[in-house]
């Protein structure tokens, strides 16, 4: 989504060949360090007051964690659209962290004007680490793409630069495409011919692909298309333009495309659609499409990214697939703001997550770093075109974004982290005393707990872990008092300690606090109690920093909308599986952990026993139950995603489908196995948000 006033467009991936200043002469291998969850992330860069030629100061933060560079894997690189001049020109700064994002150093400035002397403005950077040999590009090569232009913005050029030394030095690779003036005009009468907003990936054949926005199809009624050009020689030359989404109605204007390859080999593209939901409202909702090869895409506009209640996201989306979080990994999408079901701007402090390879409904996952999504706090276009990536072990997610700084009036660049494998507990579903449940659109699961204001006020989370040990607890809170606040925290009734909550911008802006808790195997309580100051609690995430905890879900039947559970919360071997309405008990929570050969163990959180078909039965109608681990195929399940966003859950031993017997809608109805019938009673959705 472009800016509405004349200005250089800040969305390009470029990486120029030249170092302007601050180049490192030696790079040390990365060392382990704690990820930065608290403090709204760590500061990468802050423009000095009066230095920027634009009210934003910065936009377009992008981060990558190296995964194909041997001993240097885990180092982080960040670039962004830096809206100041360095020696009279714009540059792409490259920052590095060797300690998990705790601190940052400027490595170099990539200077496009050293390759193209008349193109002195930069915009829209995008970073990509090449995962395999591609033409002459070795695995581990870093690519930087962007759009560059002259000072009068009379042309637009998408270029790619490369670095073979982890971002320390850069050389020009090639020009991908050129277009007309960099002028933003989304009106139906627009005549602009700009190319901008590049992103990079490989197609299914291992060819380099650059995706970008293209305004040159207006003769066909297409205001703007999202397109690609492919290179079969490692980016030296580029093939013909192909469309991902191009709508000939002189209104829909897709842009800001990013593409990810998922674990099943399919590709997902996300992009905003300017002039939606209408030309007057125009909040640029995020849409997506799926492709088998990354270059062949279905016709039409695509599908909006929405929750089950119709809430969506909009403006400058970015997509990645990560292997953690679910049986088929997780598709994550970031964006600048949230949207109501009617398409109006409404907050924006969550990733949208999908656990079924892009199909079906989406859920929310709280951001590591929050910002002023609606631009009311003094920044300009904070949270715009942000980026994220995961650590090499997949356990840490890094989010880079621009965040308003009310002291300078500009946006800083900050990077924060959240765990990708954690147990989540909602405050509104904890044990509560003399507090109030508050509905809020940016709260996890839509609610938080406020008025923790009295001597007998507390929020007690019932936490169940499989083994004793030390656990990290991330606490999502808001504190609009303007001063530090705190709660007293006690674990399993022990002596209370204090957790501090630095102030948040207001009572609707969230941050993370953190504590360490020694937990017992099985049930634990973590109680947050009023201690003289005020803060609200949204949720907690419990995890171990070096261990991937199996993903936990509620398993919901498509036909009845009810939850898979073990009857009466039994912990006995042989207890039967049934369905029941939501009870907020761990008997309805299931851990889905990898077995072998693409199969999964499905473990009940209340009993720690495995879902199975008893006695290795292969008969239709056999009730599913639970039993301790036996290493038998009757305890292994395949979760086969459907195009409607549900799973068929199939027993490895019998080859039959988990279902609700006779399509019953009743609480307590038996969950059994049966051959495939096509009935929706044999389809299940896995849900994580609100899992308490």
3-state SS string over 674-685? ECCCCCHHHCEE
Q: Is 15 within a domain?
A: no
Residues 362 and 380 in one domain: yes
Place 34 in a pLDDT band, splitting at 50, 70 and 90. Answer: low
Residues 211 and 359 in one domain: yes
DSSP letter, residue 602: E
Q: In 322-333, which positions are buried (b, 16+ CB within 10 angstroms) versus exposed (e)?
A: bebbbbbbbbbb
List, for residues 393-445, the tens digit of each pLDDT value.
999 999 999 999 999 999 999 999 999 999 999 999 999 999 999 999 999 99
pLDDT at 428: 97
Parent domain of 670: 551-687
Q: Is 226 within a domain?
A: yes
pLDDT at 28: 28
Residues 616 and 470 in one domain: no
DSSP letter, residue 84: S
Cα(486)–Cα(527) distance, integer angstroms: 13
Domain finish residue from 419, 445, 466: 419
CA 576 remoteness from chain centre: 37
Residues 78 and 189 in one domain: yes
Place 556 in a pLDDT band, splitting at 50, 70 and 90. Answer: very high
CA 21 remoteness from chain centre: 33
Which of 359, 352, 330 minimizes the C-alpha distance to 645?
A: 359
Domain finish residue from 543, 572, 596: 543
Number of domains the chain contains: 3
Q: Is 403 within a domain?
A: yes
Strands, E assignment, 180-326: 195-202, 208-214, 225-231, 242-245, 253-261, 267-274, 286-291, 303-304, 312-314, 318-322
Provide the CATH number for the domain around residue 214: 2.120.10.10
pLDDT at 5: 29
Query: Does the pLDDT of residue 24 top 90, yes or no?
Result: no
Query: Does the pLDDT of residue 488 top 80, yes or no?
Result: yes
Q: Is 580 within a domain?
A: yes
pLDDT over 70, % of the chain: 95
- Greater confidence (379 vs 92) lies with 92
Can you give the pTM of this predicted structure?
Answer: 0.94
Provide the CATH number for the domain around residue 574: 2.80.10.50
Residues 200 and 331 in one domain: yes
pLDDT at 1: 53
Q: Is 23 within a domain?
A: no
State both tokens at 167. 């971002």
List, for residues 469-481, the tens digit of each pLDDT value.
999 999 999 999 9
pLDDT at 529: 98
Query: Does the pLDDT of residue 19 top 80, yes or no?
Result: no
Query: Does the pLDDT of residue 8 top 60, yes or no?
Result: no
Place 462 in a pLDDT band, splitting at 50, 70 and 90. Answer: very high
pLDDT at 594: 84
DSSP sequence for 198-221: EEEEE-TTS-EEEEEEE---GGGT
List, for residues 181-190, the tens digit of each pLDDT value.
999 999 999 9
Q: Is 447 within a domain?
A: yes
Residues 539 and 557 in one domain: no
Which of 226, 221, 170, 233 minimizes the C-alpha distance to 196?
A: 226
pLDDT at 595: 78
List, for residues 290-303, the tens digit of each pLDDT value.
999 999 999 999 99
Cα(487)–Cα(508) distance, integer angstroms: 19
Residues 496 and 633 in one domain: no
Residue with tokens 């030309």: 279
Average pLDDT over residues 362-377: 94
Q: Please, what is the average pLDDT of the chain?
A: 93
Domain finish residue from 384, 402, 419: 419
Cα(220)–Cα(683) distance, integer angstroms: 43
List, for residues 632-678, the tens digit of each pLDDT value.
999 999 999 988 899 999 999 999 999 999 999 999 999 999 999 99
Average pLDDT over residues 573-597: 93
Residues 561 and 612 in one domain: yes
State both tokens at 214. 């293209």
- Greater confidence (376 vs 586) lies with 586
For residues 227, 231, 237, 240, the Cα torsion angle rounded to the nearest 10 degrees is -40
List, for residues 108-140, the tens digit of each pLDDT value.
999 999 999 999 999 999 999 999 999 999 999
Classify residue 288 by burial, with Cβ atoms within 10 Å: 0-12, 13-18, 19+. buried
Provide the CATH number for the domain around residue 509: 2.60.120.260
Q: Is 3 within a domain?
A: no
DSSP letter, residue 502: P
Cα(685)–Cα(671) distance, integer angstroms: 15
Residues 203 and 80 in one domain: yes
Residues 239 and 346 in one domain: yes
Residues 53 and 117 in one domain: yes
Query: Does the pLDDT of residue 143 top 70, yes or no?
Result: yes
Residues 202 and 271 in one domain: yes
Q: Is 32 within a domain?
A: no
Task: Report CA-CA distances (Å) from 199 to 1, 22, 147, 213, 256.
Answer: 15, 27, 11, 10, 8
Task: Report CA-CA distances (Å) from 666 to 75, 557, 620, 626, 675.
Answer: 53, 12, 20, 21, 22
């Amino acid at each position: 989504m472009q800016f509405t006033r004349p200005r250089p467009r800040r969305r390009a991936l470029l990486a120029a060949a030249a170092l302007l200043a601050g180049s490192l002469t030696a790079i040390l291998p990365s060392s382990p360090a704690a990820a930065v969850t608290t403090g709204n992330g760590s500061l990468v860069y802050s423009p000095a007051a009066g230095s920027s030629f634009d009210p934003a100061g910065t936009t377009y933060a992008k981060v990558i964690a190296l995964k194909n560079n041997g001993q240097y894997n885990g180092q982080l690189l960040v670039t962004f659209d830096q809206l100041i001049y360095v020696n009279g020109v714009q540059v792409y700064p490259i920052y590095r962290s060797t300690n998990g994002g705790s601190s940052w150093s400027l490595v170099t400035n990539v200077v496009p004007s050293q390759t193209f002397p008349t193109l002195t403005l930069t915009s829209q950077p995008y970073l990509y680490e090449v995962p395999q040999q591609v033409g002459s590009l070795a695995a581990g090569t870093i690519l930087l793409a962007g759009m560059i232009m002259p000072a009068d913005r009379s042309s637009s050029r998408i270029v790619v630069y490369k670095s073979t030394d982890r971002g320390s030095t850069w050389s020009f690779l090639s020009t991908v495409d050129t277009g007309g003036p960099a002028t933003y005009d989304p009106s139906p009468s627009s005549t602009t011919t700009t190319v901008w907003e590049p992103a990079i990936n490989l197609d299914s054949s291992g060819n380099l692909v650059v995706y970008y926005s293209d305004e040159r199809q207006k003769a066909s009624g297409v205001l703007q298309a999202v397109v690609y050009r492919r290179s079969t020689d490692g980016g030296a030359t580029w093939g013909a333009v192909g469309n991902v989404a191009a709508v000939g109605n002189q209104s829909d204007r897709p842009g800001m495309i990013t593409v990810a390859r998922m674990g099943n080999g399919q590709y997902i593209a996300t992009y905003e659609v300017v002039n939606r939901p209408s030309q007057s409202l125009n909040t640029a909702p995020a849409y997506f499409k799926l492709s088998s090869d990354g270059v062949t895409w279905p016709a039409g506009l695509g599908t909006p990214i929405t929750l089950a209640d119709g809430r969506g996201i909009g403006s400058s989306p970015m997509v990645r697939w990560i292997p953690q979080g679910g049986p088929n990994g997780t598709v994550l999408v970031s964006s600048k703001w949230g949207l109501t079901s009617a398409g109006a701007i409404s907050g924006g402090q969550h990733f949208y997550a999908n656990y079924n390879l892009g199909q079906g409904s989406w859920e929310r996952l709280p951001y590591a770093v929050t910002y002023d999504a609606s631009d009311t706090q003094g920044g300009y276009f904070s949270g715009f075109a942000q980026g994220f990536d995961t650590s090499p072990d997949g356990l840490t997610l890094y989010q880079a974004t621009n965040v308003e700084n009310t002291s300078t009036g500009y946006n800083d660049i900050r990077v924060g982290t959240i765990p990708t494998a954690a147990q989540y507990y909602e405050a509104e579903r904890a044990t509560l005393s003399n507090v109030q449940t508050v509905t809020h659109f940016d709260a996890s699961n839509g609610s938080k707990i406020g008025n923790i204001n009295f001597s007998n006020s507390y929020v007690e989370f019932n936490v169940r872990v499989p083994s004793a040990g030390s656990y990290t607890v991330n606490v999502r809170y808001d504190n609009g008092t303007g001063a530090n606040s705190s709660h007293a925290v006690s674990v399993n009734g022990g002596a209370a300690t204090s957790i501090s909550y630095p102030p948040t911008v207001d009572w609707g802006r969230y941050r993370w606090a953190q504590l360490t808790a020694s937990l017992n195997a099985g049930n634990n309580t973590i109680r947050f109690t009023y201690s003289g100051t005020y803060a609200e609690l949204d949720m907690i995430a419990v995890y171990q920093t070096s261990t991937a905890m199996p993903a936990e879900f509620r398993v919901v039947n498509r036909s009845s909308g009810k939850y898979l559970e073990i009857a009466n919360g039994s912990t006995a071997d042989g207890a039967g599986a049934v369905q029941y309405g939501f009870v907020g008990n761990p008997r309805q929570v299931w851990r889905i952990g990898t077995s072998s050969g693409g199969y999964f163990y499905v473990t009940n959180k209340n009993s720690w026993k495995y879902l199975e078909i008893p006695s290795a039965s292969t008969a239709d109608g056999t009730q599913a139950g639970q039993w301790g681990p036996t290493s038998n195929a009757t305890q292994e399940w395949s979760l086969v995603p459907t195009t409607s966003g549900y799973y068929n859950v199939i027993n490895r031993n019998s080859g039959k489908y988990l279902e609700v017997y006779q399509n019953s809608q009743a609480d307590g109805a038996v969950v059994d196995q049966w051959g495939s019938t096509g009935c929706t009673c044999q389809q299940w959705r896995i849900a994580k948000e609100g899992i308490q």
